[in-house]
Amino acid sequence: MEGATGVVKFRFACFFEYFVMKQIEFDDSFRAKVLGDDCFLSYANEIGYYTGIKRDRTDILKLVVERMWSEFLPLITGINNTPKTYDGLLDTTVSLASTFDENRFNQEIDLKRPTDAEMEANSDKVLATIEPEKDIKKKTITASHLDRLEKLWVLAARILKNTEECSEPGLKEYAYSKILTASMSYAVLFRISLKRKFAEKKKTGEEVDEFLSAMNLLLPLLHQVVLNGLMGSKKLVRVFEEKIEADLGNDAVSEFERYLSIFLYADSHGPKAQAYIKQFVASIKNRYMFDMSLFKLVEYFFFKSATEEAERLYKNMMADIIVKSKGLKKEKKSVIMVGYEREKLVKKFRGETEEEDSGV
């Protein structure tokens, strides 16, 4: 508090946003102003906090999803009207999975599997890179159309996750479907903007930033990770499952859409996750999807395979992906797995022999 003026200054943005959120909670006129069409995106964090406390505000969920869909509709329509649609626009000329040596892949991931200590150290490194807040940014109307679209679907996703107390049948499923489609179209638009940047740099002879190159390559995977951070929750598992079931056998649904729902479900510990992933892996046709699914399975092998049975399952699915991406016959997968298991036994035997020879 500064003198008699009654002005309150906040050192950190989180404190400021908290008190704005409390004002939204208790002041109806202020809440109406914040939720107004012209400035609600400037208060995205505060609205997110508010719906996190007031978990029954289905009216806000419907309002934001409606606004999001209205702005995204021209982009979504444009993508749907292109012959390539989502999978074609995201596909690559060569699958990375097809370049891996199928006889060495499973051996390599065993060697590179991080220990608990290494995972903890990496987590500490990530936390150390987060810069502390230095000031509170002034509320402004988002100028960039791309930024506005991003804020729209991200806010809608946060509100959906927060709206736990929803008695309106089908609302969560409807909202999830709309948010998912909007986020997918944003990912495609982002990929197009990256490619334009690369083309401009090529004309001027500038080197393309390695980070942007990696982002372009891994965009579908990164998008799934972001979605999981926003909506991944056991409380939405039923919603994800209904979408997965509705998409089964529907050729109009892209592999990208199915990938996002299935791995959101898996990341949220859905009970049928392994069955859905196995079914999806068997149906993959697009080059980029071999890669994105393989990377996701490597993640699960590293961090979620708590039993030998789970390890075998993930390795089998990874072998399936490598075989399919190369256009090899299914029998080749058995050769890969048998060769891997044989090598593992040889290494184990050698280790035991060395221990015996050393008198251990």
Supply the DSSP string of 181-198, one letter for each residue.
HHHHHHHHHHHHHHHHHH
Angle, CA of 237, 292 and 322, to the nearest 5°:
120
The list of the chain residues with pLDDT below 70 reads 1-12, 15, 119, 123-124, 126-143, 328-360
Question: Given this model, what pLDDT does residue 25 score?
Answer: 83
Token pair in block for residue 322: 């490598």
Predicted local distance difference test score (pLDDT) of residue 209? 83
Residue 293 to residues 161, 219, 283: CA-CA distances in angstroms?
A: 25, 12, 12
The pLDDT value recorded for residue 108 is: 83
Please say whether the beta carbons of 225 and 246 come within 8 A: no
Tokens coding 307 = 């039993």
- The whole-number pLDDT of residue 62 equals 97
The token pair at 10 is 């906040």
Give pLDDT, residue 132.
58
User: Does pTM surpass 0.95?
Assistant: no
Token pair 């909202």 is at which residue? 175
Q: Which residues pair with 7 in a beta bridge?
A: 2
